[in-house]
Structure 1
């Protein structure tokens, strides 16, 4: 029997992936607000999304078997409310918030894996004495309790940087704070957390010395499973800026095992169940220590093509199986490539886009390197500062998903592919 699956934030790129997963002929995918409507907006329409979802799903002529999404906020945090409205199973809103509210999540992590959690403190940026209230030593990271892609995240090395960053945060935090507060209002929160709303930040001691990685996993009927570990490689100058995600991980097996054990402890403690997640760690090779960075209550869409190239399947399959109440059946090392990566093409200063690769340019790259997918995020005539939700130090202008038989070949292929893609951005200094 065909299963009806609604997708929050669906776009053509990911629809094509969904339609390639195993048994996709048994699924029918429907859009529940498009990607453009839910993510490429100045104001996240959370209330409108909830009302629209309820109306569409209740009026649908047929059985709705699942509602899924693979984007971060506001999709990940609204899915529990949407599913609950029509009686579909999935993780509770409280368990999702315990992962995604950065301050609350740290408190819970500290209860079961204290040695993996950095010193941290809540900060209310609108207090006149916010700087004086912070007890952490410099340097530390400062970020809102809810944001994505390191948006409004700053490395604070002295009082001047602290004050400057607070000023920027005050002017821009409402983009996430307002819709996040709406979601918080629908949950029964502990008193201590209710007071730390979306307008708050968290300051954290540095744990970013070493190699970062992400574990992709899921919880099914209380049992935690990890099916892939991906390395996250950063820019050498701006340590918050990713250059590529690479799979499989190069971390030693014993280090990965320690991360998996810590993940099992914290996810069971939080009570998250019957859904996918990914969790990020740092490994300090010199000290052989690991630290937990954050938990996301979704699959990483950025990792989907990497699993396809190496394991032979997009991990949308995991998401679909769980949403339908089934234990995931995911392949291992059955893909055409031994290694794969998502390369993020970045610019480090604002400018006007003069030229971008056309369909012919992209097709030539994808033909030269089989399995490659190219996504261009910018358009001619726009300014890079018009891009939404970038990190504090760069602009992501494109992404290349590629595979190869070795890391050396993968890096060489990427450099060749990048040279074939004619980007031209005119900075202020160029004029």
Structure 2
């Protein structure tokens, strides 16, 4: 994508890529690295910034796709991408199919985006890595012969919201207790997804249902990769480390500390699953457990999109930013992927959390953020709150509240933790 001598590609020769429903992370990461190699075009921000538009009774997901195809069909697009879980990656597949661009089949992306239909795919292709599971309606009585304990979660959810282990019917009822306002909001937010389910599945398990599963345990990781021309490639494995005694993520660290033989088994499961499903032309990430006591690898869930939060971690350790892989796939060009070659021996995405709600009194200033950059160049800091807000005003998982993310690297793990501790001291947050 560079001319001889390393000069940027001339604008007229840059592939034009439409980025649908971009997040703030997307715009910063893409703008800093790729806007001289691609002509990046953005649309659908309003669906991310104002979810009420997506949830409106007048919003028609298929009419929106038609409008996007009409708007962009004559603009010489080479590709379309969406890195967001809901609705970005699904809408990118729908629009890409309409425009004849290299995207993963919408049917596959929609099914992987629904935890029950995703489990059906997993059970067919990798049964040895698929736990026992069953869907249920949270607004109806669960059968009396339901077995406990069960790990329950919405079939369409994010950030582990409403996901938890239940040990008996009382805990189950408490876990799925919704107020009338919450019920209405849930149905409205998931209404467009329900319309997609009616087209691409049998529609028997609606978007607002839950799934109950055999509890899994062990070391949790994320397996990141892509499928190019029907061939699956695993880029790497990231350890998912929880705050002790919780299911809230403390950090995501690479390279993984799992034994090489276990990592190879995970790679084989990921490739077999993604190749067999028909997924193609896109990045994926699969959350997995390794239970050493049972020597078992299990799939937690499949995300049919790239891990944008880990994009710079891969660049630090492996030498290539995963946005680069996704953009190449989107325009039908070979992915120049090879492991190793990064400048750092260790990298992590640290999640700043509280375990009680609070009002935000202050966040780091622009000057304080700049001092972090001067001291540790390349560190990524995402502030997830603003003064005056309550942390609970943002989507949060069960029992904890995120307020920031820090991505950074170092020559080794010991130095990584030392640098992180220093950066955390340099970023004063205040809560009351």
- Counterpart in the other structure of 2:81: 68
Q: Could you list the runs of 5+ residues in structure 1 that have no partner in the other structure?
A: 427-431
Q: How many residues align?
A: 414
1:167 to 177, 195, 203: 177
- Counterpart in the other structure of 1:408: 414
Does residue 248 of the first structure (1) align with residue 255 of the second (2)? yes
- Counterpart in the other structure of 1:55: 67
- Counterpart in the other structure of 2:199: 186
- Counterpart in the other structure of 1:121: 134
Inter-CA distance 424–397: structure 2 relative to 1 (3 Å threshold): same
Task: Report the alpha carbon displacement of residue 176 of structure 1 after superposing the two structures with TM.
Answer: 4.4
Task: Report the alpha carbon displacement of residue 85 of structure 1 after superposing the two structures with TM.
Answer: 2.1
2:213 to 193, 204, 212: 204
Task: Report the alpha carbon displacement of residue 366 of structure 1 after superposing the two structures with TM.
Answer: 2.1
Does residue 236 of the first structure (1) align with residue 247 of the second (2)? no
Distance (whole Å) between structure 1 residues aligned to residue 65 and residue 110 of structure 2:
20
Does residue 102 of the first structure (1) align with residue 108 of the second (2)? no
Distance (whole Å) between structure 1 residues aligned to residue 366 and residue 61 of structure 2:
33
Task: Report the alpha carbon displacement of residue 387 of structure 1 after superposing the two structures with TM.
Answer: 0.7
Inter-CA distance 177–17: structure 2 relative to 1 (3 Å threshold): closer
Task: Report the alpha carbon displacement of residue 413 of structure 1 after superposing the two structures with TM.
Answer: 1.4
Task: Report the alpha carbon displacement of residue 42 of structure 1 after superposing the two structures with TM.
Answer: 4.5
Distance (whole Å) between structure 1 residues aligned to residue 145 and residue 358 of structure 2:
36
Task: Report the alpha carbon displacement of residue 73 of structure 1 after superposing the two structures with TM.
Answer: 1.0
- Counterpart in the other structure of 2:8: none
Task: Report the alpha carbon displacement of residue 133 of structure 1 after superposing the two structures with TM.
Answer: 4.5
2:358 to 351, 358, 361: 351
TM-score by length of 1: 0.90
Inter-CA distance 297–102: structure 2 relative to 1 (3 Å threshold): same
| SS at 2:44 equivalent | strand
- Counterpart in the other structure of 2:283: 276
Q: Could you list the runs of 5+ residues in structure 2 that have no partner in the other structure?
A: 1-12
Inter-CA distance 25–93: structure 2 relative to 1 (3 Å threshold): same
Structure 1, 327-336 or 249-258: larger mean CA deviation: 327-336
- What is the correspondence of 1:363-378 to structure 2 with a 5 Å cutoff? 363-378=370-385
- Counterpart in the other structure of 1:144: 154
- Counterpart in the other structure of 1:429: none
| SS at 1:186 equivalent | helix
- Counterpart in the other structure of 1:361: 368
Say what the alpha-carbon RMSD is for the aligned residues: 2.1
Inter-CA distance 372–109: structure 2 relative to 1 (3 Å threshold): same
- Counterpart in the other structure of 2:430: 424
Task: Report the alpha carbon displacement of residue 116 of structure 1 after superposing the two structures with TM.
Answer: 1.5
- Counterpart in the other structure of 2:90: 77
